[in-house]
């Protein structure tokens, strides 16, 4: 198992390296210029001399290969530098947003699991009954409903019915749990519902498949208690694809909730990402891509470990 | 069901009380009340904390309350045309109009307790006008007339000009020219990009990036009795729907930039008397840049035809219902000292009331210039919905009515500026926003390309440059008006170098609890918050 873990960890390095090279050069290909945008955009006085001074300050007057070596050197030392737009250390820019995005992803995952697993299992067990139809309608509706739209509905409902709006400034959970939850529960529900729809459908189909396996029939023939068959034999095996879906969605939530963050005015990584690209803030965009790539790779690594734990055959391959 | 009925009864009572309640305090609110925290939404965020180098209102709104400027527009003047002293107590102008002497207030302290003197004013203005190598200052272009800034004694500052100027006092009231501490600038010119330390009515508390900015009352503020607020909190909210929700849900009192007519109406409908609406013509305008280096836009007949096609009065009626544009205007905001009287405006190409006649003339000019019916060109528009999208659609429709076929290319902001500056367009939407209504600021852009980096029409016009200089140096307002009218005629009529669409219209629906704040034609002004107070 240790060898397996080390092998998977080592595989992360070339993947991250590839991402680093790609994002660096892709950003340089995209048309537009941070200096033009920031200093020439609204100013009628922006002279070429001033724009050149700013470019030199940001290191954009250097040849691309030198900029690349500088960026890779920093990456090796885990030093992402400073944001070109704000001048603030990138670690500082990401820290607070990451806490919010991580908490929201965890809360949405809890909502999704709490809905998806029981509903998926019940729908599979009661296949083609009214219960199954209701679950299928709910999950298809969830897939068809963008979470930001549901978020807008929540906000309007809260405003119109209760004359109340969730807090618009993030308070960490450990500072004030009530304020924290009052702000994040709504986006967590909006995102969690959509997320649960994917997981419910996956749970249902995986359960249906497993319930038709020979070993389930054998267990029933042996007269095993139905609850035991479901929990120990069926559900555990059905969880493999569900786990993958949940993990991938979780990783996506870390940096992908742009519109939902906008609707609820959440200071998360998704909006930071969009702004960094819109501002052509190379250093910040590169750091964010690396972070999201790392989260995806790391979550996949954890899923692989979970697979190995759930299905021992994987460890021996 | 019973619970629902109770809720309805309670809700009706709350609405009834709410409708009556504001009447009582409002009547007794002439005298400012102390205390409270003003919460406002800011649609943008400061990139750095140094206003001398930034261009966005995103720095002015949250950070300006920490600073003072030498002069400022009177915060109670809706036109922002009357200049009053901020750190300057009084001033004199020499007979030749080239020496401005300012007497400073005594007892003004920076937030670190040190005294503000003329040394600080000089250091701040030297940074703006004569920046050392490595320090970029776009605004030095605004002070080309300044020869030297001197500090003969701790409470006197002298500006010596190379030539007399009609706009110099206004340019010293710039909301960007915050007064910094000389000792700090001497050590590090970039210190203020990451730190806050001024003499303003509020002291910096915290900035959580992407989230909010907090300031608290300066107990040692030089203007005794001010500010009235205990503090303020600026919340960064990018999405306009979320800004409206914040005001409607009473999570914010105000947003100082502006809302669209639909957003205003939704707030008024939802909150009734809890909302106060202030409106003003806005010193921002969408322009049409026609690239003089691309055919057929090098021909002034074609450019004139594009202007003649526009039914600005009908456009104003229709667009003002859905977009943040309204007034038909020339090169100055209507109602301000140098604005064009309507009778004179009507004489300019595209400003007449007979649109049928104007369009017939436009077709004739196009034919004369050899432009065939159905001629196709690309109109580059900026990828920002309000007001670029509705105004862009309106322009295309107007031009279609003189037989032109226009293809719109919507370009993302970062690429848009590169395209404009690089001349990679035929016809493009351009814009201009001023921090104060002042011809020097508003007309600078339209000088020849060799003088103005923002002249995206890419033309050279020595006569226009000469008129710009003449109006800028005219100290007598009547003489200045004459040159401005000549400039306007040449820019919009004789040569039709640029097209003005419609003046923006600023609408601020805010909580009725907010008092002591007056709207102005610029969203860069009146953000010191020293006069603002809350009724409860």
pLDDT over 80 at A196, yes or no: yes
**Residue B517 falls within a domain, yes or no?**
yes
CB contact under 8 A, A32 and B412: yes
B146 and B165 share a domain? yes
Q: Residues 76-95, chain A: which have Cβ within 8 Å of B? A: 85-88, 92-93
Rounded mean pLDDT of A272-300? 93
Question: What pLDDT does residue B3 have?
Answer: 44
Q: Are residues B303 and B214 in the same domain?
A: no
The chain B residue lying nearest A29, using CA atoms, is B415
pLDDT tens digits, A147-174: 999 999 999 999 999 999 999 999 999 9
A278/B208 touch (CB, cutoff 8 Å), yes or no: no
Closest CA to B49 of B204, B182, B155: B204
* Domain identity same for B51 and B194: yes
If asked whether residues B431 and B517 sit together in one domain, one would say no
CA distance B148 to chain A (A): 20
Contacts of B138 (CB under 8 A, 6+ apart): A39, A43, A45, A46, A47, A50, B53, B55
Minimal Cα distance from A34: which residue of B?
B414
Assess whether B467 and B324 both reside in one domain.
Answer: yes
| Alpha-carbon gap, residue B103 to B67, rounded angstroms | 18
> Could you give the CA distance from residue B258 to residue B255 in angstroms, rounded to a whole number?
7
Q: How many CB pairs under 8 A join A and B?
A: 144
CB proximity A42 to B under 8 Å: yes
Same domain, residue pair B500 and B530: no
> What are the tens digits of pLDDT across the range A72-96?
999 889 899 999 999 999 999 999 8
pLDDT on residue A101: 95
Q: Among residues 154-183 of chain A, which lie with CB inside 8 Å of chain B?
A: 155, 158-159, 163-165, 167-170
Residue of B nearest to A258 (CA): B239
- Give the per-residue pLDDT at A315: 63
Q: What is the pLDDT of residue A96?
A: 83
Interface touch B414/A278, C-beta < 8 Å = yes
Q: Does a structural domain hold residue B44?
A: yes
- For an interface test with A, the pick among B12, B37, B47, B48 (most A C-beta atoms closer than 10 Å) comes out as B47
Distance of residue B445 Cα from the nearest chain A Cα, in angstroms: 6
| CATH of residue B247 | 3.40.190.10
Domain count, chain B: 2
Q: Which domain does B482 fall in, by range?
A: 281-506
B441: tokens are 């600021």
Burial A248-284 (b: 16+ CB within 10 A, else e): ebbbbbbbbbbbbbbbbbbbbbbbbbbbbbbbbbbbb
Does residue B244 sit in the same domain as residue B294? no
**Residue entry with tokens 């800034």:** B149
Report DSSP letters for chain A, one per residue.
-HHHHHHHHHHHHHHHHHHHHHHHHHHHHSS--HHIIIIISS-S---HHHHHHHHHHHTTTS-HHHHHHHHHHHHHTT---B-TTT-SBHHHHHHHHHHHHHHHHHHHHHHHHHHHHHHHHHHHHTTTSHHHHHHHHHHHHHHHS-HHHHHHHHHHHHHHHH-----SS---TTT-HHHHHHHHHHHHHHHHHHHHHHHHHHHHHHHHHHHTSHHHHHHHHTT--HHHIIIIIIIHHHHHHHHHHHHHHHHHHHH--HHHHHHTT---HHHHHHHHHHTT-HHHHHHHHHHHHHHHHHHHHHHHHHHHHH-HHHHH-
In A, minimum Cα distance to B213 occurs at A169
Note whether residue B27 is domain-resident.
no
Q: Do A41 and B454 touch (CB under 8 A)?
A: no
Please report residues of A whose CB lies closer than 8 A to that of B249.
158-159, 163-165
Q: pLDDT above 90 covers what percent of chain B?
A: 88
Residue B229 lies in a domain: yes
- A33, A43, A272 member nearest B210 (Cβ): A272
**B107 shares its domain with B205:** yes
Q: Is B223 helix (H, G, I), strand (E, B) or coil?
A: coil
C-alpha closest to that of B231 among B247, B258, B248, B213: B213
pTM of the model: 0.90
Q: Are residues B309 and B241 in the same domain?
A: no
Is the CB of A39 less than 8 angstroms away from the CB of B241? Answer: no
Q: What is the structure's pLDDT at A317?
A: 54
| CB contact (8 A) between residue B251 and residue A262 | no
For residue B424, the domain's CATH number is 3.10.105.10
pLDDT tens by residue, B425-449: 999 999 999 999 999 999 999 999 9
Structure tokens at B487: 């400039």
Domain boundaries, chain A: 16-76, 97-278
CATH topology of domain A97-278: MetI-like fold (1.10.3720)
Residues of chain B short of pLDDT 70, as ranges, are: 1-29
pLDDT of residue B360: 97
pLDDT at A316 over 60: no
Q: In chain A, what residues touch B238 (CB-CB under 8 Å)?
A: 262, 265, 271
* B55 and B87 both lie in a single domain: yes
Q: Which residues of A touch B417 (CB under 8 A)?
A: 32-33, 36-37, 40-41
User: Same structural domain for residues B93 and B217?
Assistant: yes
In this prediction, residue A31 carries a pLDDT of 85
Judge whether B12 lies within some domain: no
A296 vs A16: CA distance, rounded Å: 11
B239, A47: Cβ pair inside 8 Å? no
Q: For residue A287, what pLDDT is reported? A: 95
Contact B414 A37 (CB under 8 A): yes
Name the minimum distance, in Å, from the CA of A296 to any CA of chain B: 24
Alpha helices in B327-449 (DSSP H): 342-345, 355-368, 388-400, 413-422, 439-444
In this structure, is residue B172 part of a structural domain? yes
Give the nearest chain B residue to A88 (CA atoms).
Answer: B194
How close, in Å, is residue A73 to chain B by CA atoms?
26
Residues of A whose CB is below 8 A from B210 = 96-97, 267, 271-272
Question: Are both B528 and B480 inside the same structural domain?
Answer: no
Task: Write out chain B residues lying below 8 Å of A54, CB-based.
Answer: 136
In this predicted structure, what is the pLDDT of residue B418? 85
Establish if B246 belongs to a structural domain. Answer: yes
Query: 3-state SS of A25-61?
Result: HHHHHCCCCHHHHHHHCCCCCCCHHHHHHHHHHHCCC
The answer as to whether B298 is a domain residue is yes
């Amino acid at each position: 198992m240790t060898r397996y873990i080390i092998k998977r960890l080592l595989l992360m390095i070339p993947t991250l390296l590839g991402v680093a090279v790609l994002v660096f050069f892709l950003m340089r290909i995209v048309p537009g210029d941070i200096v033009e945008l920031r200093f020439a955009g609204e100013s009628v006085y922006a002279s070429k001399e001033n724009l050149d001074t700013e470019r030199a300050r940001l290191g954009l007057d250097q040849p691309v290969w030198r900029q690349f070596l500088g960026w890779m050197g920093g990456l090796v030392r885990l030093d992402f530098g400073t944001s070109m737009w704000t001048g603030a250390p990138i670690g500082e820019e990401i820290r607070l947003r990451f806490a919010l995005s991580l908490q929201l992803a965890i809360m949405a995952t809890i909502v999704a699991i709490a809905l998806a697993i029981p509903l998926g299992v019940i729908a599979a067990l009661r296949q083609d009954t009214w219960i199954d139809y209701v679950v299928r309608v709910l999950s298809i509706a969830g897939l068809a409903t963008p979470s930001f739209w549901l978020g807008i509905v929540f906000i309007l409902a809260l405003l119109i019915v209760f004359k109340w709006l969730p807090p618009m400034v993030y308070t960490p959970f450990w500072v004030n749990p009530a304020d924290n939850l009052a702000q994040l529960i709504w986006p967590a529900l909006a995102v969690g519902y959509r997320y649960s729809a994917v997981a419910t459908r996956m749970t249902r189909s995986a359960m249906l498949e497993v319930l038709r396996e020979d070993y389930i029939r054998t267990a029933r023939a042996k007269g095993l208690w139905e609850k035991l068959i479901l929990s120990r034999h069926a559900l555990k095996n059905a969880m493999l694809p569900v786990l993958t879906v949940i993990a991938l969605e979780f990783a996506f939530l870390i940096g992908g909730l742009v519109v939902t963050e906008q609707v609820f005015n959440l200071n998360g990584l998704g909006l930071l990402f969009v702004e960094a690209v819109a501002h052509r803030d190379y250093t910040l965009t590169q750091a964010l891509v690396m972070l999201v790539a790392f989260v995806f790779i790391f979550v996949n690594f954890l899923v692989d470990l979970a697979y190995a734990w759930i299905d021992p055959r994987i460890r021996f391959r | 069901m019973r619970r629902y009925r109770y809720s309805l009864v309670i809700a009706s009572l709350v609405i009834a009380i709410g409708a009556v309640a504001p009447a009582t305090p409002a009547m007794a609110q002439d005298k400012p009340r102390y205390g409270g925290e003003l919460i406002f939404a800011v649609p943008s965020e400061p990139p750095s904390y140094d206003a001398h180098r930034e261009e966005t209102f995103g720095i002015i709104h949250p950070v300006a309350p920490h600073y003072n400027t030498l002069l400022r527009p009177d915060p109670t003047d809706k036109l922002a045309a009357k200049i009053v002293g901020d750190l300057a107590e009084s001033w004199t102008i020499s007979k030749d109009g080239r020496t401005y002497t300012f007497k400073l207030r005594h007892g003004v302290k920076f937030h670190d307790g040190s005294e503000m003197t003329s040394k600080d004013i000089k250091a701040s203005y030297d940074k703006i006008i004569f920046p050392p190598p490595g320090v970029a200052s776009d605004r030095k272009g605004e002070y080309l007339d300044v020869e030297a800034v001197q500090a003969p004694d701790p409470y006197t500052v002298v500006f010596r000009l190379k030539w007399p100027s009609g706009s110099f006092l206004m340019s010293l009231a710039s909301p960007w020219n915050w007064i910094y501490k000389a000792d700090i600038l001497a050590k590090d010119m970039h210190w203020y990009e990451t730190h806050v330390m001024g003499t303003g009515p509020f002291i910096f508390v915290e900035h959580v990036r992407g989230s909010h900015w907090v300031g608290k009352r300066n107990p040692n503020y030089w203007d005794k009795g001010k500010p009235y607020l205990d503090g303020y909190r600026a919340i960064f909210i990018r999405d306009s729907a979320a800004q409206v929700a914040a005001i409607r849900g009473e999570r914010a009192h105000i947003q100082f930039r502006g809302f669209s007519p639909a957003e205003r109406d939704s707030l008024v409908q939802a909150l009734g008397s809890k909302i106060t609406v202030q409106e003003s013509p806005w010193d921002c305008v969408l322009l049409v840049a026609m690239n003089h280096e691309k055919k057929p836009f090098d021909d002034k007949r074609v450019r004139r035809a594009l202007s003649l096609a526009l039914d600005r009065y009908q456009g104003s009626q229709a667009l003002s219902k859905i977009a943040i544009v309204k007034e038909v205007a020339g090169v100055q905001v209507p109602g301000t000292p140098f604005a064009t009287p309507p009778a004179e405006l009507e004489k300019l190409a595209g400003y007449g009331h007979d649109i049928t006649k104007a369009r017939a003339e436009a077709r004739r000019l196009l034919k004369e210039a050899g432009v065939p019916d159905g001629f196709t060109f690309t109109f580059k528009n900026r990828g920002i919905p309000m007001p670029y999208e509705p105004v862009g659609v309106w322009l295309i429709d107007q031009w279609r009515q003189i037989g032109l076929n226009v293809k719109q290319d919507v370009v993302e902001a970062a690429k848009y500026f590169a395209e404009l500056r690089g001349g990679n367009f035929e016809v493009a939407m351009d814009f201009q926003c001023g921090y104060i209504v002042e011809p020097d600021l508003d007309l600078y852009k339209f000088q020849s390309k060799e003088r103005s980096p923002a002249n995206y029409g890419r033309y050279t016009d020595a006569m226009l440059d000469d008129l710009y200089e003449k109006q800028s140096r005219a100290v007598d307002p009547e003489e200045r008006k004459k040159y401005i009218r000549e400039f306007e005629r040449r820019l919009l009529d004789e040569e039709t170098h640029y097209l003005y669409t419609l003046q923006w219209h600023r609408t601020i629906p805010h909580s009725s609890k907010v008092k002591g704040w007056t709207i102005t034609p610029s969203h860069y002004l009146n953000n010191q918050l020293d006069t603002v107070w809350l009724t409860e």
